[in-house]
Copies of this chain bind each other. A is one copy, B any other.
Amino acid sequence: MKIGVIGGGQLGRMLALAGTPLGMNFAFLDPAPDACAAALGEHLRADYSDPDHLRQLADEVDLVTFEFESVPAETVAFLSQFVPVYPSAESLRIARDRWFEKSLFKDLGIPTPAFANVLDQADLDHAVIEIGLPAVLKTRTLGYDGKGQKVLRKPEDVVGAFAELGSVPCLLEGFVPFSGEVSLVAVRGRDGETRFYPLVHNTHVNGILELSVASSDHPLQALAEDYVGRVLEQLNYVGVLAFEFFEVDGGLKANEIAPRVHNSGHWTIEGAECSQFENHLRAVAGLPLGSTAKVGESAMLNFIGSVPAVDKVVAVADCHLHHYGKAFKAGRKVGHATLRSKDRATLEARIKDVEALIKG
């Protein structure tokens, strides 16, 4: 089976590493000459809206999937004429737009921070009165790793904020006094079978994920599964979906979903029976899903900007390096380490070991 992937970054790379042992081949559509997934499959180097290359991709592969959600809607629509596309165009349409996304959560009874659609500065001024400050103004689409966001703390911050974010459709979200950020990675097969990984506790720094720790018997696991299950069913979703929540007052408020394999699920490569990458491929290929059970106690640390010396990283006990083969650049995710330890105390010590390497 040949899988077409829109995007050829590290998520595509890890999909190929998981799918090759299943007998799958890969083609990546990515305009970047140095797309790091290209080492593991065919590289169609073209723009995401180039009809000739999209047609070529559709002709070559058995199905198409994505490694990022901001694929143009027209791309998905075009491909869908010729080849199955998972997750569906509708799932992508919702997930890539914060307004559609939050509105879906609301419709499904999933608690969210207060939010309002902001199409101009007047909308923003009105929304601030309604929601109050502090609040966060976010572009509805194309935001990632904290980009496309502005925190509004004082009335002066509101002035001109809409223009500052590019005068594009935005969402204003009320500030949530959260005690933690957690994500649930789920997978749903073509037949509707659904499985959930354990809740992961995430630490972000400057909007970029730094550390994910997989939980054991998290008291909010069942509630999170309930919320995520509602979304999966409503979208008739196929593939892996990650759902980020704020922990607030012992409950959960929905932040956002990613309709793809997700950074907070990278620990599953070593830390779960079947990784998010293999389970995504199993789901889109119509294969039975794999076990989402944990193996040991796991955490993931991102390498941002650069990967510490490889000999130092692999010398850390319980440590598994994932180097993305990308050029180092400040703020760029260029690798990660998974730690899989026999108990929580050992895991905590190992996290400190890797953190020390990152700090240099």
Contacts and interface: CB of A to CB of B under 8 A. Distances in A.
A307 interface: yes
Given A21-B323, A290-B314, 10 more contacts: A20-B40, A20-B325, A21-B322, A22-B310, A22-B323, A23-B310, A23-B335, A25-B39, A273-B340, A295-B295
Interface string A3-44: 000000000010001001111010000000000000111000
Nearest to A324: B23
Contact of A310 (B287, B310, B321, B340): B287
Given A23-B323, A307-B23, A288 B314 contact: yes
5 contacts: A21-B320, A21-B322, A22-B314, A25-B325, A39-B41
A41 to B, nearest CB: 7
Contacts of A280: none
Contacts of A286: 311
For the complex of A and B, 3 pairs with smallest distance between CB atoms:
A23-B323, A288-B315, A21-B322
Interface residues of A, number: 33
A3 to B, nearest CB: 12
Contact of A321 (B21, B311, B317): B21
Q: How many copies does the complex hold?
A: 2
A253 interface: no
Interface in A297-325: 307, 310-311, 314-315, 317-318, 320-323, 325
Nearest to A295: B295
A98 interface: no
Contacts of A96: none
Query: Chain A contact residues: over half helix, strand or loop, or mixed?
Result: mixed
Contacts of A307: 23
A230 to B, nearest CB: 27
Contacts of A311: 286-288
A49 interface: no
B291 A317 contact: yes
